[in-house]
Amino acid sequence: MSGKYIVVFKDSASQAQIDKYAQDVESNGGNVGHKYDSALRGFSAAIPDAFLQTLQAQGLADGIIDYIEPDGTVTIQ
């Protein structure tokens, strides 16, 4: 099963590193949607549950992922 997430990278991450992570997501059964490069640097993606922990661990080890959060709609009243 896949969940939808936003993967946000630290400012120190190069575009090549971000692209590699996006390729890794797709190589492991995910689907990268929108790529962000202005207000934040990263991408939205459907990421298989089985690969999510690997992605988080790899980003922590490399020190370039700032955070990964569920993608959803935010509403205000």
Return phi, psi of residue 47, to 5°.
Answer: -120, 125
Q: Angle at the Cα of 49 (from 44 to 51), degrees rounded to 5?
A: 80
Q: Which two tokens stand for residue 76?
A: 């205000």
Domains defined along the chain, listed by start: 2-70 (3.30.70.80)
Task: Determine how β-strand 2-9 pairs with β-strand 31-37.
Answer: unpaired
DSSP lists the bridge partners of residue 31 as 46
In this predicted structure, what is the pLDDT of residue 75? Answer: 80
Q: What stretches of the chain adopt beta strand conformation (E)? A: 2-9, 31-37, 41-48, 65-70
pLDDT of residue 72: 83
State pLDDT tens for residues 52-77.
999 999 998 999 999 999 998 878 88
The pLDDT-based confidence of 1 (bands split at 50, 70, 90) is: low
